[in-house]
């Protein structure tokens, strides 16, 4: 697993993130299976889990870094 610095926080995070959108009612409802997936990701070195319920659609509103080209 490769890691990167999270801005200037001193925190290092994995380049890959586990997307958990499809865990639960809208996807995989097998709790034990979801737990196995999370544990496998952690064992592989994943340090972040995206729990957002759905992805944004359409244009991104705002720019987190004013003056940047995104």
- The pLDDT of residue 3 is above 70: yes
- Kindly state whether residue 31 falls inside one of the protein's structural domains: yes
Q: Which domain holds residue 43?
A: 3-50
- Kindly state whether residue 14 falls inside one of the protein's structural domains: yes
- Kindly state whether residue 36 falls inside one of the protein's structural domains: yes
- Kindly state whether residue 63 falls inside one of the protein's structural domains: no
Q: How far is C-alpha 6 from the chain's CA centre? A: 13
- Kindly state whether residue 66 falls inside one of the protein's structural domains: no
The per-residue pLDDT for range 49-61, each reduced to its tens digit, is 988 766 555 555 5
pTM: 0.68
- Is residue 47 within 8 Å of 3, Cβ to Cβ? yes
In the chain, the number of structural domains is 1
The per-residue pLDDT for range 25-53, each reduced to its tens digit, is 878 899 899 999 999 999 999 999 988 76
- Kindly state whether residue 55 falls inside one of the protein's structural domains: no
* Average predicted confidence (pLDDT) for the chain: 81
- Kindly state whether residue 60 falls inside one of the protein's structural domains: no
Q: Answer with the residue of higher pLDDT: 18 or 52.
A: 18
């Amino acid at each position: 697993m490769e890691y990167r610095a999270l801005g200037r926080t001193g925190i290092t995070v994995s380049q890959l993130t586990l997307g958990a959108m499809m865990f639960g009612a809208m996807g995989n409802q097998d709790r034990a299976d979801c737990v196995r997936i999370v544990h496998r990701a952690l064992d592989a070195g994943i340090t972040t889990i995206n729990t957002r319920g759905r992805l944004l659609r359409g244009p991104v509103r705002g720019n987190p870094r004013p003056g940047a080209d995104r």
